Structure formats: C-alpha cells, structure tokens
Structure 1
Amino acid sequence: MEVEEVNVTDMTFMETAQDMKLKKSETKQLNIDCNPGNANETVTWKSGNEAVATVSPNGLVTAVAAGKATITAVADRSQTKTEIEVTVSDGGSTSTVTDGGATGGIVTKDLGYAVYKGRMKNGLMNDESGVLTFKTTHIIEPRDVKKREAKAGEKVVGIFEDGHLTTGTWYKSDGNKEVIIP
C-alpha cells in the first residue's frame, strides 16, 4: 500500500523567542505545529550561527556560547520554513541559587532528563510550586501506576516532596494538560 504524500502548507514553532533564552550548555527541544495535521514531510533543521547554538536532526537546540542564532526548520518537499531566534547568555553553572541559601531558596537544577526549578531540601526536590521541564522523553514520576511519559519540552508544575511529585499538572506539547496524582 502506497502512502500518500501530504505536504506542509504552514508551520510554526510551539515555543516563543522568550522560551529560547538559554544559558550556555543548556538544551531545549523545539516543537513544530504543522498544517495540515496529517502532513508527512521530513523537516531539516539548521542553525544560522553554530558558534552560538547548534541544533540536532530532531530539533534539540544546544546553547554553545553567548550571542544570538536563528534556528530554521524547512519541510523537505514543500520547502515551507519557519524560524526562531535563540539568545544565549553566559549564565554560569546549571545549578543556580536565585533566592536565599542552597536549601531554602529557589534553585535551577539540571537532572539530566529534565531541569527542575524550585526549592530543595536535603538535595531533593521539595516545593509546593516546583517546575520540572523535560529535556528527553521520561517517566514523570516513578511511583505513578500509569507510568505516564513526558516528552522533551513538556513540563509538570506541582508539589514535590522528598524528590517525588505528589500532585501536579502536566502541560503537554499538544496544548493539553493533565492532572497527575501518583
């Protein structure tokens, strides 16, 4: 059975330029919304300044050095394209205290699979309004019987105790959200 080729007529990034303000060494997954929804073209990614930011074949942006770079996504057959500007700051380390001490203040901590922003206690996530932004597809909370997986770029805002999510809202890349109570 032959698959019908459906070309992209329009595409936009789901992220904004504000979302693409990164610190050196930080990564961010770009996501595209294509019209029509059943388009099946391959997208090619390109950075206008690889000295500032690189982009993988799957749209994962890595901040290299301070400056600005334009990331372009082009649909291979129709040549439909969209662009977004990435601004990279020197930002220092990936674990930064922005308020108070290391245990009582808000920190940004790179966990490998996600970046957590919120308070910590004894080195563990511990906040009533913590934010977990995923860098790769990963199970949101190991204790969750449904084993729900967030994709890169998606986030969970919720209550974290002793390193675990106790309840939260999962903001999905398709614009939907889901309450999670493991």
Structure 2
Amino acid sequence: MENEVIEMVDIVDEHDVVISTVSRHEMRQNRLRHRAVFIAVMDGAGRLLVHRRSPHKDVWPGWCDIAVGGVVSAGESYLAAAIRELNEEVGIQDVSVEPLDGGICQTYEDDQVALMGRCFIVQAQSPLTFNDGEVAEAWWVHRDGLDELIRREKVLPDSLALLLPLLDF
C-alpha cells in the first residue's frame, strides 16, 4: 500500500494568527479559515492568464479562474506558497513575484470557503507548462475579454473579490 501524503494547513483567526493546524480535508469539510495566495500572471502584451480548473478540484471544479494560486501549507509563508503554486500549476520559476496588496491580508468568506488571502503579480517570461493536472485549459485575455468572460462563465468568486480590484490592465 502506497503512503499518501496528508497536506496540513494552518487555520487562522480574523487577524491571520495561526490557531491550529489540520489536514486539508478537515479544513474543507469544516470550512475553516485558512491562508491562500492569488497570483495574476501577465504576459508581455499586457494580457492576463485565465484558466479553467480541472473537474477534479475539491472546490469550484470546472470553473474559470483569473488567478494561479491555492492554499498555503502549514508553516509556509505567503510568498513561498506563491512561488510554489506558480511552479506547480504553470511551470513558472525564477521570476520576481511582486505583492499587489501592499502586504495586507484580505478576508474572503462564502458558503464554500473562509480564507485570508494575499495577492501577487508576475510577468511570464517563458512558455507555460501545465503538469499537475489542476488546469484543464488556459488562455490570455485583455481587459475587455475578461469582462466578457465574467459575464458568460462561472469565475471563482474569491479571485474576483480579492484579486480583480487590484489589477490595472
């Protein structure tokens, strides 16, 4: 029998102070407030990367997302999580990951998730690779294309609430 790695997640209070550490499964099952990162990936033409999530994701499967990112692992910094997620989801390495939020955590809660989020931005310098199975498809959009996408598709509400207001493109 193969040993499965259990992903551990820090649970935080409304001030982003760690109050416990639980498995990702327990965090999702009980909708516990955790840390997450949202990264806008831009190209040299000023377009934003948008992707459709895998149908196997534990939250909002098959929905579109304007952010690369995800859950911050237990003991991991927001910046380290952003760097890890960029590499895992789209193959971006060795780029400058810049904060978009002035270092301030933002709160997001709905009936699916409760989180404290940090937002970052990167410029894609090389072709993207989608090796971890979390991205079903991806494409680049200008602002008008993003507005149209939001009108016609289901787009992750946490990314729209936290990241979109910080983007200027």
Return the TM-score normalized by structure 1.
0.24
* Bigger fraction of residues in helix: 2
> Is the radius of gyration larger for structure 1 or structure 2?
1
Return the TM-score normalized by structure 2.
0.26
* Bigger fraction of residues in strand: 1
By relative contact order (CA 8 Å, sep 6+), the higher-ranking structure is 2
